[in-house]
Amino acid sequence: MSSQDFRDWESAYAIDPLILRLLQKKNEKSTVQLTEKSVKQRDLGVLYAAFLSIGSLILVVIVGVIRCTDVDIILANGCRTLFIYGMIGFVIGKIAEMCVRESAKSMIRQVLQRTESVQQAQAADASNDN
């Protein structure tokens, strides 16, 4: 991974500040900076809630119209499903967001550990040559 990849990840995701400090120390040019986010970030919980709730509302309206149900009943059922599926979508989205963040952090940690071990091996080889 190049330093550009780290910069892109930093702008798109909230990465642990300790990891970013380590990256800044490793990259002498300080290519990874703690700046404002240039990419607008949306919570997955909100996105999942919006899609699931609106999808369920549309489905309830379509089924109500097909069954020739009263408008009051369709609206009451639509409001219930909007709320219930919105909550379910929010919880699922938050879980998905945590999984994505942890995966990104673990990938960065693995890359840092590999580069550290390579640098230590190079330093050991250099000291053995002297």
Residue 84, pLDDT > 70, answer: yes
Count the Cβ atoms, other than its own, within 10 Å of residue 19. Answer: 19
Of 56, 47, 40, nearest in space to 91 by CA: 47
| Confidence (pLDDT) at 18 | 63
| Confidence (pLDDT) at 4 | 52
> What is the SS3 assignment for 56?
helix
pTM for the model: 0.59
